[in-house]
Amino acid sequence: MKHCLADQVIKKRKQHLHQEGGLEAVLKKRHLDFLDILLCTKTENGDSLSDKELRAEVDTFMFEGHDTTASGISWLFYALAMNPEHQQKCREEIRNLLRDGMAISWEQLNQMPYTTMCIKESLRLYPPVTSISRELSKPLTFPDGRSLPSGTMVTLHIHALHHNPIVWPEPEVFNPLRFSPENSISRHTHSFLPFSAGTRWVFLDDNLSPHFSLHALVCRLLHTCTFSPDFLPEPKPTSISAAYSLPPPGLVVGSSITGCSMQSPFLPHGNQVVQW
């Protein structure tokens, strides 16, 4: 199903480009979108990307990025609902920052240290990407002399990495102060990998996550809303094909704005109505 949607997007874009005059006309545009760039890309041999290669890139852009962010946001609000004292500290920080306004600047997203620590702690407890796998293109030798041959599939279990009690004491406890500067300085940089890592990856730096949508959304909602659990049994993160975490079952959202009701976008099963 995922591949079919990506194939449809690629096919329609190719048809649209043909109507516009082909790739040469598109290259004259001042701004190219993601798919246009892929369609104009050439390999080292001068060939265009195959439909299979295009589909792999479109799948990554359309699903991996959006699904992981959506899961991260859902579990973040669940963690804040289950830990109201931390939710209130985040709310106070956000309100002091925004005052009476609701507009958020890029600079302000970098001025929420406690909220950032809560986001990171939620991503540690409930990583959106639970595991990553890579096939070795050449033999790998470890410092102790052991080695793996070329072609071996190596899998890193991020959920287990984030719950290692040697690195994270009391790993099941929600404790944002794990990510305070003084507690983070001696910890290995790869002990926290919520979205993978590597030379082609943007790390979460000491202040701001590259997934700024988490900061922006929690900032807007905590400014006026309060999150509380729906008192169902505590959910456990489950995964699809041992790769991505599913969102929690639901939250109840309250707001100072009255007279409105809506179906909560944070409840994947749609079984709760939010009263505002």
pLDDT at 20: 66
Q: Which domain holds residue 217?
A: 58-133+154-275
pLDDT at 176: 97
Question: Is 8 part of any domain?
Answer: no
Token code pair at residue 27: 């290259």
The count of domains in the chain is 1
pLDDT at 261: 31
239-256 core/surface letters (b: 16 or more CB in 10 A; e: else): beeebbbbbbbbbbbeee
Question: Is 32 part of any domain?
Answer: no
Q: Which residues contact 85 (CB under 8 A, 6 or more apart)?
A: none
pLDDT at 202: 46
Q: Are 24 and 49 in contact (CB under 8 A)?
A: no
Question: Is 267 part of any domain?
Answer: yes
Strand, coil or helix: 198: coil
Distance of CA 36 to the CA centre of its chain: 24
Question: Is 51 part of any domain?
Answer: no
pLDDT at 271: 32
88 vs 91: CA distance, rounded Å: 5
Token code pair at residue 19: 């109507």
Angle between helices 2-20 and 51-59 (to 10 degrees): 110
For residue 213, what is the domain's CATH number? Answer: 1.10.630.10
Nearest to 223 by CA among 99, 71, 113, 111: 99
Angle at CA 84, nearest 5°, toward 121 and 233? 85
What is the longest distance spanned by two Cα atoms in the chain? 68
pLDDT at 82: 93
- Residue with structure tokens 């709760």? 272
Question: Is 233 part of any domain?
Answer: yes
Angle between helices 84-98 and 113-125 (to 10 degrees): 140
Question: Is 266 part of any domain?
Answer: yes
Question: Is 7 part of any domain?
Answer: no
Which residues in the chain show pLDDT less than 70?
1-3, 18-32, 42-44, 61-66, 101-102, 196-211, 231-276
201 vs 93: CA distance, rounded Å: 29
Question: Is 23 part of any domain?
Answer: no
pLDDT at 12: 79
Token code pair at residue 88: 């209130």
